Amino acid sequence: MKDAEASLELSRVQVRPIVPGERAAWDALMREHHYLGLNALVGRSLRYVAQYEDRWLALLGWASAALKCAPRDAWIGWSGALQWQRLRLIANNSRFLLLPGPRVKNLASRILGLNLARLSEDWERVHGHPLVLAETFIDPSRFAGTCYRAANWRELGATRGFAKSNQTYVQHGAAKRIWLFPLHPKAAQILSGAWPHPDLPHPDRKPMMTLSDAQAQELLSRIGRIEDVRARRGRRHSQRSLLACILCAVVSGAKGSTEIGEWIARMSPAMLRQLRCRRTAAGQYQRPSESTVRRLLQKIPVESLEKELGGWLQTQAAAGAARNAGSKKNTPRSPSTARRCAAPMTDQARPESCSRSSIERAGSS
């Protein structure tokens, strides 16, 4: 133990979200080493890795909060109506795995602390809003919750031993201990207040854009050059339509897969037609889901996507300058903004919503 502690300085341990290329390795390690395995992280999610130099030490997974939990709900003191509105402001630490290797004193609590310090900000970048509370459930037959206690989590009590199955709850008899960590000093007041608290995050709806048929056709033509990275089986939407929807959302300011999904859900039928979205037998257009968007962004080469977006925006800027009208109705953004987004294509020279990092974050959750 002393040799392990001597070779690892806790102050140099880092916790960060995974990047898209690390998703497969993260999932594989979690399936292999965590006692619960891994099917999927429920709802909105983030995956983290704790590392020392280039060595992975631990994996952490965050997902949407439990729909109901009596000790948690009593601690918050919210009504049923407010619970459904504000449950999104809680995240569940559904997985925490120390990878095989020498055990180091205080390592687990150090990793938890580092993760909590950045969790809300990361969640806002990916999902569009911050968090005010973190929760986790611990099986007392396996763990005492020592590292959570050392990281200043609060133990509230035992669950009733139910799990959700489809549309109902089934009793499994294995009660767990619920722990909470307030990410905001007034977490309970924010979540339970009948009147909205000044610090209550409000959803930020990104503005919709409009396209002419010619602009849409050119965008589809450009991104149609990108090789389809998906397996042939199970394709419901064409890749070029998916990418066109994604890029329009990104240009409008959406920063993560959740915001992109919400933006797509508000697309007009006319724009769904322009971007050649899938139609049902009844003739209705189908919008791609957030999970479909996320899966594609985890596989697509960001450089190719960035190149085609930059070329398209540059073309729109040139066309706007030629018309010399500065019309905002028919162009996604003003010519000057489009030029800044497109040339040169570097993170330092363009707005955040057009940067490579905004596209990469959408696929890292």
Residues 77-117: pLDDT tens digits?
A: 988 778 888 899 999 999 999 999 888 899 999 999 999 99
Q: Which CATH class is domain 2-192?
A: alpha beta
- Per mean pLDDT, which range of 27-41, 105-119, 190-204, 260-274 is the poorest? 190-204
Q: Which of 184, 220, 301, 205 is nearest to 255 (CA)?
A: 205
Q: Is 188 exposed, middle or buried (0-12, 13-18, 19+ CB in 10 A)?
A: middle
302-323 and 213-223 helices, crossing angle to 10°:
150
- Cα maximum dimension of the chain: 72
246 versus 321: which is more confidently predicted?
246
**What span, in angstroms and rounded, lies between the C-alpha atoms of 190 and 284?**
40
| Per-residue tokens: 271 | 């724009």
| Domain positions in the chain | 2-192, 213-362
How many contiguous H segments (helices) and E segments (strands) does the chain have? 15, 9
In this predicted model, what pLDDT tens digit does every residue of 280-300 receive, in sequence order?
888 889 999 888 888 888 888
As a dihedral over the C-alpha atoms of residue 276, residue 268, residue 292, residue 218, rounded to 10 degrees, the angle is: 40
64 to each of 6, 12, 44, 89, 283, how far by Cα in Å?
38, 30, 5, 9, 34
Among 206, 239, 220, 242, residue whose Cα is nearest residue 312 = 220
Q: Which residue type, as a one-letter code, is found at position 37?
A: G
- The rounded distance, in Å, linking the Cα atoms of 55 and 49 is 10
CA 316, 317, 321, 324 torsion-angle sign: positive
For residue range 107-161, list pLDDT tens digits in order. Answer: 999 999 999 999 999 998 888 889 999 999 999 889 889 999 999 999 998 887 7
Peptide bond into 344 cis (omega under 30): yes
| First-to-last C-alpha distance (Å) of the chain | 34
Which residues make beta-bridge pairs with 57? none
In angstroms, rounded to a whole number, what is the distance separating the alpha carbons of residues 53 and 344?
A: 33
Q: What is the pLDDT of residues 204-257, one digit of tens each?
A: 566 777 788 988 999 999 999 998 888 888 888 999 999 999 988 888 878 778
Q: What angle do CA 325, 328, 334 make, to 5 degrees?
A: 85
